[in-house]
């Protein structure tokens, strides 16, 4: 597409129209604007949209990234209760086949709609077998912290994957 304007100072254009200085400025601005629009559309590089993977994504009651990451993290355990609106996941007792004398039960609570480190809380219970009974035993704080870290890392990875498309 070629844009051309023929006008001389104080004379008539080839169409018989007398252009003054202000009319020439307006015509020049219009031509420059049209040219800018024309070359602006030539760029093929698309910018990622910030709202595609906003940290506050919720079609359920809680942050969808944290919810999905929590379910993925606990997928090896039998689930007893899940409430996506309230953001609670409760597992049933799980015994590792390599250590059948010990079992663990985990509760994950998602506390916010934002993807934040303080938006997920993990509580764990542990029991050990003594004879034919299960007895409560302490859970190391590092175990709970490690589960929270795994969930948060997975949630951030899910968000990054959404941004990349």
pLDDT of residue 87: 94
Considering only 8-22, 47-61, 102-116, which range has the smallest mean pLDDT? 8-22
DSSP conformation class of 12: B
pLDDT of residue 42: 56
Exposure string over 88-108, b if 16+ CB within 10 A, otherwise e: bbbbeeeeeeeeeeebbbbbb
pLDDT of residue 83: 94
Q: Domain 64-164, what architecture?
A: Roll (3.10)
The answer, yes or no, to whether residue 129 has pLDDT greater than 50, is yes
Q: Which band of pLDDT confidence, cut at 50, 70 and 90, is reported for residue 36?
A: low
Mean pLDDT of 73-93: 96
Mean pLDDT of 2-31: 52
Backbone φ, ψ for residue 121 (5° rounding): -130, 135
pLDDT of residue 60: 80
Which are the contacts of 92, defined by CB distance < 8 A and separation ≥ 6? Answer: 77, 78, 79, 80, 105
pLDDT of residue 5: 46
Residue ranges, comma separated, of all CATH 3.10.110 domains in the chain are 64-164
pLDDT of residue 163: 86
């Amino acid at each position: 597409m070629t844009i051309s304007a023929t006008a001389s100072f104080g004379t008539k254009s080839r169409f018989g129209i007398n252009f003054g200085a202000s009319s020439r400025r307006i015509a020049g601005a219009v031509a420059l604007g049209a040219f800018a629009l024309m070359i602006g559309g030539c760029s093929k590089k698309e910018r990622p949209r910030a709202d595609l993977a906003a940290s506050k994504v919720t079609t359920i009651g809680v942050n969808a990234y944290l919810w999905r990451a929590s379910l993925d993290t606990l997928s090896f355990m039998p689930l007893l209760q899940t409430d996506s609106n309230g953001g609670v996941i409760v597992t049933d007792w799980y015994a590792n086949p390599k250590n059948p004398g010990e079992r663990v039960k985990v509760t994950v609570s998602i506390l916010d709609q934002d993807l934040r480190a303080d938006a997920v809380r993990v509580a764990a219970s542990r029991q050990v077998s003594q004879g034919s009974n299960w007895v409560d035993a302490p859970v190391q704080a590092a175990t709970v912290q490690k589960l929270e870290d795994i969930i948060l890392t997975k949630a951030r990875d899910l968000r990054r994957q959404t941004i990349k498309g």
